[in-house]
Chains A and B, each alone.
Chain A
């Protein structure tokens, strides 16, 4: 607040009090006394008056002890005991403890207020649970995805190496590459050599192996000029 503002406020304070202001102040005083005595607020009142009244109540409550009438004090004690006993029986363990303000007559909650408060608590609890779920949901989804990835990796079908497709290309066969009688190679078998089958077979095997190797080697070549594309 600047100095000009403070001067302006002083001027207003020094100004004469109008009858309307006087009446309003008296009315606020009555309401405040009523509140201190335990009377309820009027059902309809100006919002500015209500704010002034609540502020005044708070100032009054914090500045001095509230003097209650004996009937009022007994009633409050009974209500506190009743709410404590019944509340412990009706509410679940860990339920809200009645706040300090509930002991005060003007701020005490009635049954409707408690119902509203419990429903608000339920809503908050639900919200907290939803928040917790929402907070944990990404982690849960990520964990599930990781677990699924591990399971899929472990149980993946093993790709067995495919055998190379053996493409049988048509090869031009020479006589040496074919199966045929051994007569031209061996010739006439003299009588003295009739039992020398081992030597003849060595000769035959070497000859046929030559043709067989030629065939295999030509087949391994990607594109032999002889075979064409």
Chain B
């Protein structure tokens, strides 16, 4: 009799374990079935109307700048891209930060074509200083900074070779930062794929 009781208790425990394992496996399978493997594992808040409006606004300013550039009206294109920096995205929105970084990079490159290297450097440095996380857009900002410094080196080459050399070193440092960020992100994404 006592042996039968032990056997029944063991069977009950085994059944409970089996149910728990089945439920656990099922829920994990559900989670894996959702989303893309390259997406971040911890999604943020849901896409809001404010965010979409901000993105749409930025998109239109970029297209406006494209049109100006087709007519070689660089100053107007610069003004249009500057407007993107004033857009109020929802606080903490990752897309907003990325878009503003990208706009700063484009603005800096436009300023370089205008010969306004100092201002271009200020625009890029402000973007890098306001970074909350590493991203391909931050890496792009470092890349743009390197380009600005390269252009400065060329600009001052004849007047001050030492300063030009310093600018080149700084440019390389910026490229190195960009490369480091990109590598880290690529590894992270590759890890998410597995």
- List the interface of chain A (C-beta within 8 A of B): 171, 173-184, 186-189, 191, 194-198, 200-202, 204-205, 208-209, 211-212, 215
Residue from B48, B99, B102 having most chain A Cβ neighbours under 10 A = B102
A184 contacts B140, CB within 8 Å?
no
Within 8 A of A (CB), among B151-194: 182, 185-186, 189, 192
**CB-CB contacts below 8 Å: B36-78 with A:** 36, 38-40, 43-48, 51-52, 55-56, 58-59, 62-63, 65-66
21 A/B residue pairs, CB under 8 Å, sorted by A: A173-B46, A175-B34, A176-B35, A176-B36, A176-B39, A177-B43, A181-B135, A183-B185, A183-B189, A186-B137, A189-B139, A194-B140, A195-B110, A197-B102, A197-B103, A198-B62, A198-B106, A201-B62, A204-B55, A208-B51, A211-B47
Q: With A195-B109, A197-B102, A200-B102 as given contacts, are A183 and B47 in contact (CB-CB < 8 Å)?
A: no
CB distance A209 to B52 under 8 Å? yes
User: Nearest 3 CB-CB pairs, A to B?
Assistant: A175-B35, A178-B43, A198-B62
Whether B46 contacts A177 by the Cβ 8 Å rule is yes
B40 CB contacts on chain A under 8 angstroms: 175, 180-181, 184
Q: Could you tell me if A177 and B47 are in contact, using CB atoms closer than 8 angstroms?
A: yes
Q: A201: which of B35, B102, B135 is its contact (CB, 8 Å)?
A: B102
A184 to B139, CA, bound (A): 14
Q: What distance in Å separates the Cβ of B15 from its nearest Cβ neighbour in chain A? A: 28
Let me know if B43 and A208 touch, CB within 8 A. Answer: no
A179 with B47, Cβ < 8 A, contacts A194-B109, A204-B98 known: yes
Q: Are B46 and A208 in contact (CB under 8 A)?
A: no
User: Which residues of A lie under 8 Å from residue B46 when comparing CB positions?
Assistant: 171, 173, 177-179, 215
Query: Is A194 a contact of B147 with CB atoms below 8 Å?
Result: yes
A215 to B45, CA, bound (A): 12
- Are A204 and B99 interface neighbours, CB within 8 A? yes
* B135 with A174: CB separation less than 8 A: no
Q: How far is the CB of A18 from chain B (nearest CB, A)?
A: 126
B34 touches A182 (CB 8 A): no
Tell me the nearest residue of chain A to B101, going by C-beta.
A197
B108 to chain A, nearest CB (A): 9
Which of A179, A191, A215 is the one whose CB lies under 8 Å from B44?
Answer: A179
Rounded to whole angstroms, the CA-CA distance of A205 and B40 in the bound complex is 18
Contacts of B143 in A (CB 8 A): 189, 191, 194
Contact A187 B136 (CB under 8 A): yes
- Of A180, A183, A186, most B-chain CB atoms within 10 Å: A183
In the docked arrangement, what's the CA distance between A176 and B95, Å? Answer: 13
* Contact of B39 with A175 in the complex, beta carbons under 8 Å: yes
Chain A residues with CB below 8 A from B65, complex form: 198
In the complex, besides A180-B43, A183-B98, 20 extra interface pairs with C-beta distance below 8 angstroms are A175-B39, A176-B35, A177-B46, A178-B47, A179-B90, A179-B95, A180-B44, A180-B94, A181-B94, A181-B133, A183-B137, A191-B147, A194-B140, A195-B105, A195-B109, A195-B144, A198-B63, A204-B55, A204-B99, A215-B46
Q: How far is the CA of A176 from the CA of B54 in the complex (A)?
A: 18
Known: A179-B90, A204-B95, A215-B46. Is A189-B140 also a contact (CB below 8 A)? yes
> Chain B CB within 10 Å — which of A177, A180, A197, A212 has the most?
A197
Q: Which residue of B lies closest to A200 (CB)?
A: B102
Known: A179-B51, A208-B51. Contact between A173 and B58, CB under 8 A? no
Given contacts A173-B46, A178-B43, contact A205 B55 (CB under 8 A): yes
